[in-house]
Structure 1
Amino acid sequence: MIKGKRVLQKDFINKEDAIKARKEAEEKYHMPILEKYK
């Protein structure tokens, strides 16, 4: 969740696809915040 909203709003059939989507979302949403407070 980012600012109270779900980012990944779908189900995944296999674990690898879910992991890939999670990592892509982390890069997109979390990394800018982490870089800001470095």
Structure 2
Amino acid sequence: MKQTVWPENKRLALSIVVNVEEGSELSIAEGDRGPE
């Protein structure tokens, strides 16, 4: 694996977060009377 050399030996931290939620809230678009 090739290593990247950054100016002044800086480092990069990367965080990827994926949140999936379903079925927990009322929705007018889905035919419910109103939102929670």
TM-score grouping bracket, smaller chain normalisation? under 0.3
Structure with max Cα Rg: 2
Task: Please give the TM-score of this superposition, normalised by the length of structure 1.
Answer: 0.19
Q: TM-score, normalising length from structure 2?
A: 0.19
- Which structure shows the bigger proportion of residues in helix conformation? 1
